[in-house]
């Protein structure tokens, strides 16, 4: 028998998991900041290579940003279409 406690526990776990996912995705901002800092330092040190450094930086920024987007996707799935939460509610309705 699934009661309100099980529903609340699964809901709390979903919200906590979504918070952790968004927090980990937020760490991508630190990585992007470090990449930009190093790229700017490289451009100052070697102005002749600025175009190559800039293009490489944009590619790496896109790859780093994809981590944040995936984290947001996981959080949205946990909050709005969690299959475990839907199953627990379905079992509670049957009881």
User: What span, in angstroms and rounded, lies between the C-alpha atoms of 33 and 18?
Assistant: 24
User: What span, in angstroms and rounded, lies between the C-alpha atoms of 77 and 71?
Assistant: 10
How many structural domains is the chain composed of?
A: 1
Q: Which position has the higher pLDDT, 71 or 7? A: 71
8-44 pLDDT, tens digit each: 888 888 899 999 999 998 888 888 899 999 999 999 9
The pLDDT mean for the chain works out to: 87
Range of 52's domain?
4-94
Residues 6+ apart with CB under 8 A from 43: 49, 50, 53, 54
Model-level pTM?
0.72
Model confidence at 7: pLDDT above 90: no
Tell me, what CATH number does 62's domain have? 1.20.20.10
């Amino acid at each position: 028998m699934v009661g309100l406690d099980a529903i609340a526990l699964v809901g709390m776990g979903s919200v906590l998991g979504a918070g952790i996912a968004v927090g980990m995705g937020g760490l991508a901002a630190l990585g992007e900041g470090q990449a930009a800092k190093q790229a700017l330092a490289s451009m100052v040190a070697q102005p002749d290579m600025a175009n190559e450094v800039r293009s490489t930086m944009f590619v790496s920024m896109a790859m780093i940003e994809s981590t944040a987007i995936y984290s947001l996707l996981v959080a949205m799935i946990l909050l709005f279409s969690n299959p475990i939460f839907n199953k627990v509610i379905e079992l509670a309705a049957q009881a």
